[in-house]
Amino acid sequence: MSSDGTGTAERDWPLYEVFVRGKRGLNHVHVGSLHAADDRMALTHARDLYTRRNEGVSIWVVRSTHIAASTRDEKDPFFQPSADKVYRHPTFYDIPDDVPHI
């Protein structure tokens, strides 16, 4: 049975991941997932579901199939190459005594 009148069942809609940036936050944070027929509907549903108290200032929605992510099993081999770049670590640098707030 169709819930949108187009003959497409809601369960067949693609899954979207929702990220919201709060008024006081600097970063978008993953807040949940939802199904929607298209990007515009995903934004509208995300607004209605995840910012009901006007706590958000920006919403991102992205189809779950468009996300590429590393896995826990890849953790060591994936992040290991950064260990040989000691200049990326703050302890590599000497901070002068007269420089405040670092």
**CATH code where residue 84 lies:** 3.10.20.520
**Does any domain span residue 55?**
yes
Report how many domains make up the chain: 1
Window from 48-52, 65-69, 87-91 with minimum mean pLDDT: 87-91
**Does any domain span residue 81?**
yes
pTM above 0.75, yes or no: no
**Does any domain span residue 29?**
yes
* pLDDT in the model for residue 1: 43
* pLDDT in the model for residue 9: 72
CA distances from 50 to 31, 67, 78, 92 (A): 7, 20, 33, 42
**Does any domain span residue 100?**
no
**Does any domain span residue 98?**
no
Q: Which domain holds residue 58?
A: 10-92
